[in-house]
C-alpha cells in the first residue's frame, strides 16, 4: 500500500511536469496568422504586368463595388490632363471656399480663404487622402465639381473602364448611403487606370512619399501627413498607388512594385480589414513577379522613373558579400503561411 501511494504520487508529479513543459512550449512557440481564404479576403482582385498589360492573376476582377478613396486616382488623372492642356499649372493658386472646408472624412482641414498651390493640394490628396483637397482641386480645375465629375467619366470611357461610374472626386459615400448611388468600379478597371497613370503621368512622385508636412508657409502649425499605404518601405519595390476605405467599400488598395526592371500592378477591392488587405496584396505582388516570364520587356514610363531607391544593405550582408551593392538591396515583407 505504501509503495502504491508513492508510485501514484510520482506518476502525478511527472504528469504535472510534462503538462507544464507542454504549456511553456506552446506559449514560447511563435505563431503566424493564417493567410485568409480568397473567398472572404476580398470582393475582387487582379494582378497585371505593367509593361505589357498582361493579366498575371485574377479572381472576380469584374465584380462591381465602390472604390472609396481610390477614386482620387482618377481625380489625379483628370488634373494631369488639365495641366497638360495648359488650363492650370502646379503653381496655380487655389483659394479655399466654404464648401471646400466642409467636406468630411479624411482631410487636411482646409479653411475658407486659405490659398495653396495646386501641387501642395495634390500631395495632400495622394498622401493624406484628403477629401477637402480633392474637392477644392476638382472645383478649381473645371469650374464646378459636377463638371469635373463629367470629365472623370469621360476619361474612364476613354481608357476602356467599362464598368466604372464616378459621382465624386473623392470617393465618399452618398448621403443616402446607397452603394448604387455612389462611385462604382471593378478591380480590372482600376488596374487599367493604374497602368495608364504609371505610363503617362508622374503619379509616383506623390504616391511614393511616406511622410510629408502640409501647410507651410501658409500655416504656422503644419499637418503631418502619413501615407495610408502601409506597404511602402515594407514590401520590396512598392512605390504606389492608393488605398481606399468606407463601410460600403471595405478596404481597397491599388498598388504597384518595381523589381529588376519589371513592374506589377495589384488591385484588391473590398477587404474585411487593412491587415487582410495588405497580406493579400503582398501575396499577389509576389505571385505576379513569379509569373512574369524571364526575358519579358522591362517597364518604362513615358514620363519619369520611380523616385524610390533601394534600401541600403544591412552591415551583416555587406560583410558576407563584399561585392554586393546597395542598389540591389530589397526590403523583405513576411507573408504568413497557410
List residues with catalytic annotation.
Answer: 69, 72, 129
At 5, which helix (H) or strand (E)? Answer: helix 2-28
CA-nearest of 47, 80, 313, 292 to 204 is 80
Q: Which residues have C-beta within 8 Å of that of residue 21, sequence separation ≥ 6?
A: none
Residue whose cell numbers read 505563431: 31
| Angstrom distance (rounded) from CA 109 to CA 213 | 13
Q: Which residues have C-beta within 8 Å of that of residue 93, sequence separation ≥ 6?
A: 115, 116, 117
Question: CB under 8 Å, gap of 24 or more: what pairs does 294-300 form?
Answer: 296/49, 296/51, 296/52, 296/262, 297/51, 297/52, 298/51, 298/261, 298/262, 299/50, 299/51, 299/198, 299/258, 299/261, 299/262, 299/263, 300/51
Amino acid at each position: 500500500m505504501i509503495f502504491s501511494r508513492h508510485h501514484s504520487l510520482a506518476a502525478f508529479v511527472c504528469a504535472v511536469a510534462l503538462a507544464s513543459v507542454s504549456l511553456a512550449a506552446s506559449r514560447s512557440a511563435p505563431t503566424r496568422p493564417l493567410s485568409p481564404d480568397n473567398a472572404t479576403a476580398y470582393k475582387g482582385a487582379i494582378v497585371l504586368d505593367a509593361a505589357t498589360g498582361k493579366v498575371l492573376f485574377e479572381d472576380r476582377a469584374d465584380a462591381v463595388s465602390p472604390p472609396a478613396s481610390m477614386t482620387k486616382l482618377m481625380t489625379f488623372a483628370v488634373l494631369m490632363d488639365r495641366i497638360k492642356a495648359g488650363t492650370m499649372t502646379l503653381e496655380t493658386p487655389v483659394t479655399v471656399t466654404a464648401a471646400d472646408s466642409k467636406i468630411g472624412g479624411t482631410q487636411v482641414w482646409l479653411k475658407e480663404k486659405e490659398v495653396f498651390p495646386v501641387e501642395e493640394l495634390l500631395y495632400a490628396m495622394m498622401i493624406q487622402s484628403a477629401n477637402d483637397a480633392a474637392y477644392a482641386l476638382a472645383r478649381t480645375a473645371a469650374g464646378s465639381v459636377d463638371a469635373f465629375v463629367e470629365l472623370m467619366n469621360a476619361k474612364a470611357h476613354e481608357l476602356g473602364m467599362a464598368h466604372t461610374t464616378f459621382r465624386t472626386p473623392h470617393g465618399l459615400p452618398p448621403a443616402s448611403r446607397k452603394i448604387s448611388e455612389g462611385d462604382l468600379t471593378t478591380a480590372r478597371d482600376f488596374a487599367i487606370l493604374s497602368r495608364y497613370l504609371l505610363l503617362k503621368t508622374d503619379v509616383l512622385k506623390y504616391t511614393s512619399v511616406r511622410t510629408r508636412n502640409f501647410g507651410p508657409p501658409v500655416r504656422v502649425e503644419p499637418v503631418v501627413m502619413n501615407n495610408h499605404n502601409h506597404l511602402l518601405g515594407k514590401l520590396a519595390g512598392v512605390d504606389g498607388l492608393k488605398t481606399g476605405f468606407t463601410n460600403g467599400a471595405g478596404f481597397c488598395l491599388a498598388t504597384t512594385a518595381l523589381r529588376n526592371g519589371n513592374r506589377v500592378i495589384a488591385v484588391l477591392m473590398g477587404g474585411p480589414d487593412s491587415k487582410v488587405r495588405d497580406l493579400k496584396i503582398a501575396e499577389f505582388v509576389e505571385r505576379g513577379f513569379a509569373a512574369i516570364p524571364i526575358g519579358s520587356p522591362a517597364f518604362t514610363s513615358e514620363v519619369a522613373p520611380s523616385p524610390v531607391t533601394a534600401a541600403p544593405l544591412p552591415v551583416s550582408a555587406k560583410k558576407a558579400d563584399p561585392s554586393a551593392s546597395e542598389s540591389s538591396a530589397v526590403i523583405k515583407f513576411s507573408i504568413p503561411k497557410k
